């Protein structure tokens, strides 16, 4: 029966809803838990502890949530709670407060970079046109405003034009690359099987470790440090396309900041001898320092060329301790290796608020790597959350080839 009467033939049965509502209702129970996780304030739930496996070689945020129950925010809310509750970063503050200040008195309010960019490029409302129509006369001031507005439009149009060729950062993977990456991440084989060995650094990456580059994985030290080695080699291979940079590995900052009395220059003094590096840090344009805040990757940059200390956090947060540590470090380092004095008091501390931000609870490591990748070539941070899946695959490809494009 295809008539309306036929739909109600059995009065004991509930009429079948039109417009596909039946199909949606059928899945309500499956979606209910995910909805509650998103809709109910987190204060009504006890914060789940940081899982012990989070420190493993391949912790996967997708596996942490039971089947099909990944929150709509990709676990970002829970991840923020973990970061805030981390004992390893007791002073980590969300720098969205008006009173957030850096040691040198730099006052900056951190905003979501996308929101800030939209606010910066949004066309100003033309309220004066209504006033002009009501006034019925060509007021001089209104004419000046019109000229100024046209000028601002021209400036914004110029800013919107691409200033650089970023195609090198978004080269599509070939079908062969896609297959190789998929086999590496999801194929069979022993998890302990070593897939690549970087001989000069003696870093080896097993199948288990590289699986941190699956969509919901937290990046581990081995993958990050090997990729930084590849960036070093790319700079040496293509000096004209790169800045003069130094890339510290993931263990440097912990070693520097976690001595018996806190700051400990002696523990890292031998990391940067001219014999090991072939250059001195004072000769670099930028020095990249990965910072691990227990469950969260951030990036600090000693910008020798611009005389700034920069902090980039894909959650938009701020930890002034890091910049204080590195300011002290670079003074001692230059004095020890180059026998020169640096007046760090004239430098600027900067919490970068134009960097792309993560929108889930598992991509901080990938954001940090791409900050380094782009900035080491002097490129703007022209990427976002939507590129992370591609970047993960590309990183697998480059690691397997031991060659950063």
Active site residue ranges: 296, 313, 364
Burial of 288 per CB tally in 10 Å (0-12, 13-18, 19+): buried
Tell me how long the chain is.
Answer: 405
Number of H-type helices and E-type strands within the chain: 16, 7
H or E stretch covering 236: helix 221-237
In the numeric block, which tokens belong to residue 390?
Answer: 């591609």
Does the CA dihedral 97-102-105-108 come out positive or negative? negative
Cβ proximity of 198 and 340 under 8 Å: no
Question: Which is nearest to 381 in space by CA: 318, 301, 324, 305?
Answer: 301
Q: In what order do the strands lie in the sheet with 308-312?
A: 245-247, 286-292, 297-303, 308-312, 348-351
Does residue 300 sit in helix, strand or coil? strand
Taking the alpha carbons at both ends of the chain, their separation in whole angstroms is 63
How far, in Å, CA of 367 to CA of 371, rounded? 6
248: left (phi over 0), alpha (psi -120 to 50) or beta: beta
Does the CA dihedral 293-297-302-303 come out positive or negative? negative
């Amino acid at each position: 029966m295809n008539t309306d009467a036929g739909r109600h033939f059995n009065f004991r049965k509930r009429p079948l809803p039109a417009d596909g509502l039946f199909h949606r209702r059928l899945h309500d129970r499956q979606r209910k838990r995910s909805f509650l996780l998103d809709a109910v304030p987190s204060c009504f739930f006890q914060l789940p502890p940081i899982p012990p496996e989070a420190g493993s070689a391949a912790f996967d945020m997708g596996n942490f949530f039971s089947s099909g129950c990944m929150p709509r925010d990709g676990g970002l809310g829970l991840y923020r709670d973990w970061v805030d509750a981390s004992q390893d970063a007791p002073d980590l503050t969300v720098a969205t407060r008006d009173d957030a200040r850096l040691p040198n008195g730099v006052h900056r309010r951190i905003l979501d970079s996308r929101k800030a960019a939209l606010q910066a490029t949004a066309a100003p409302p033309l309220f004066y046109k209504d006033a002009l129509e009501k006034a019925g006369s060509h007021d001089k001031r209104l004419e000046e405003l019109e000229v100024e507005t046209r000028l601002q439009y021209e400036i914004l149009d110029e800013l919107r034009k691409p200033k650089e060729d970023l195609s090198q950062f978004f080269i599509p993977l070939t079908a062969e690359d896609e297959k190789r990456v998929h086999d590496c991440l999801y194929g069979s084989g022993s998890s302990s099987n070593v897939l690549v060995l970087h001989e000069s650094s003696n870093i080896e990456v097993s199948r288990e470790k590289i699986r941190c580059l699956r969509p919901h994985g937290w990046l581990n030290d081995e993958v990050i440090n090997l990729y930084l080695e590849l960036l070093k080699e790319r700079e040496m291979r293509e000096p004209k396309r790169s800045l003069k940079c130094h890339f510290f590995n993931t263990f440097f900052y912990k070693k520097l900041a976690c001595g018996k009395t806190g700051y400990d220059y002696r523990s890292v003094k031998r990391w940067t001898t001219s014999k090991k590096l072939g250059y001195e840090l004072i000769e670099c344009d930028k020095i990249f320092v990965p910072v691990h805040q227990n469950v969260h990757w951030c990036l600090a940059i000693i910008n020798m060329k611009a005389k700034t200390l920069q902090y980039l956090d894909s959650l938009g947060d701020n930890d002034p301790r890091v910049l204080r540590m590195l300011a002290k470090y670079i003074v001692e380092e230059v004095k020890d290796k180059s026998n020169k004095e640096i007046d760090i008091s004239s430098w600027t501390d900067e919490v970068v608020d134009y960097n792309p931000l993560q929108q889930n609870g598992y991509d901080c490591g990938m954001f940090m790597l791409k900050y380094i990748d782009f900035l080491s070539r002097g490129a703007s941070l022209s990427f976002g959350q939507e590129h992370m899946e591609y970047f993960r695959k590309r990183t697998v490809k480059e690691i397997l080839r031991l060659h950063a494009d």
